[in-house]
Amino acid sequence: MRLMRFPAGLLAGLSLTVLSGAAVAAQPGTVTVDSAGVVRYIEKGQPPVVIHLTVEQAQSRRAAQGNHGSHGKPGGGSQTNDLIYNGGTGGVGVETAPAIYLVLWGSQWNNNDPSGEAGILESFLGSMGGSKWLNTVTQYCQKVSSGTIYCNGAGTPAGNQSGMLVNFWYDNGSAAPARPKQSDFAAEAVRAASHFGNTAAGSNDSTQYVIATATGNNSSGFGRQYCAYHSYTTSSYGDVAYTNLPYITDAGASCGANFNGLGADAGITIVEGHEAAETITDQFPSGGWLDSGGSEIGDKCAWISSGQGASADVSLGGNTYPVQSLWSNAFNGGAGGCVLSY
């Protein structure tokens, strides 16, 4: 059933739209923002990406949807908003023991990190495993039938063990492309797999590479059309999952600076927390857990400013980080909702 909601003609149209403008940094509209969801094809020959909407996009989309996709209002037991398993990609749907590698990509990082994003990311990714905040992911599993909503102990659940940041790498011997494309991130993820020795069959099934670009060195469309995205690439080391994580503070309030009064750096951990949780529950998009509209565990709860599921500071490993809530199918009597702990 997966991808049935994306007619082939529509996908071809999106690809052409993107390719025609992909190299032009200042041109809006390189990613078609529409009601078809956040799973997008943005480069010919590449798997889909799942984009993280900007603050403005997410809030206008939520307003347009009214109570559909509501983030925790009384649901009367309906499961129509819940995440559904899509059967996996090559049998893999979730990360059963998440292993995260952070890559600070390019010599542009050298003596050039005005917001201290590298240190914040290392600390945050090193602290979130085992937390109540991330524990929502353990509701979701793989090796169950497509269409499953509740694993109920069947299959193998997504993991939430401590110490999931395995290592980080300043890949700064040469410059990254000035405006990296999806295929550039894919190639860097494969280089990272090689660098870290994850080259054996299956060694990337529960692994994600967070490819962080330096300030001023972000991909086209960042801050207007998305704050980040995650995807995967095929390789001789198996399928490899990665996130394109721009230098978040470059986008200011559009990607979370001072969101909900949480500070100028709030977007760094809000956005990466969203991406990490989504990769854990949809390892190789879109074979994992998405709702009927194509939104993932983070998308459904992005940029909520008040009420149930509003972004807030949480304590992870003794430090405090701003995060967004995550979608829990179990909340609200099975109607689901956005929660900060599970």
Part of the chain binding Zn ion (CB under 5 A), chosen from 100-108, 137-145, 156-164, 274-282: 274-282
Rank residues 58 and 176 by Cβ distance to Zn ion and give the closer one. 58
- Residue 40 contacts Zn ion per CB under 5 A: no
Specify which residues 209 forms β-bridges with. 101, 242
Query: What is the closest distance, in whole angstroms, from the C-beta atom of residue 299 to Zn ion in the complex?
Result: 4
Query: What is the closest distance, in whole angstroms, from the C-beta atom of residue 296 to Zn ion in the complex?
Result: 5
- Residue 52 contacts Zn ion per CB under 5 A: yes
Distance CA 153, CA 176 (A): 44
Rank residues 238 and 302 by Cβ distance to Zn ion and give the closer one. 302
- Residue 61 contacts Zn ion per CB under 5 A: no
- Give the one residue of 299, 314, 322, 326 binding Zn ion; rule: CB under 5 A: 299
Residues in the chain: 342
Whether 323 and 269 have beta carbons less than 8 Å apart is answered as yes
Residue keyed to tokens 């509501």: 70
Whether 237 and 175 have beta carbons less than 8 Å apart is answered as no
Part of the chain binding Zn ion (CB under 5 A), chosen from 27-35, 148-156, 250-258, 277-285: 277-285
Query: What is the closest distance, in whole angstroms, from the C-beta atom of residue 97 to Zn ion in the complex?
Result: 22
Q: Are strands 207-213 and 240-245 parallel, antiparallel or unpaired?
A: parallel
Part of the chain binding Zn ion (CB under 5 A), chosen from 8-16, 50-58, 150-158, 325-333: 50-58
Query: What is the closest distance, in whole angstroms, from the C-beta atom of residue 278 to Zn ion in the complex?
Result: 5
Rank residues 131 and 279 by Cβ distance to Zn ion and give the closer one. 279
Whether 21 and 27 have beta carbons less than 8 Å apart is answered as yes
Edge-to-edge strands, sheet with 207-213:
39-40, 49-52, 228-233, 240-245, 207-213, 99-105, 165-171
Coil/strand/helix, residue 228 = strand
- Residue 298 contacts Zn ion per CB under 5 A: yes
Q: Are strands 99-105 and 156-157 parallel, antiparallel or unpaired?
A: unpaired
- Residue 95 contacts Zn ion per CB under 5 A: no
Query: What is the closest distance, in whole angstroms, from the C-beta atom of residue 242 to Zn ion in the complex?
Result: 14
What six digits make up the tokens of 292?
């009927």
Query: What is the closest distance, in whole angstroms, from the C-beta atom of residue 88 to Zn ion in the complex?
Result: 19
Q: Binding residues for Zn ion, per CB under 5 A?
A: 52, 278, 298-299
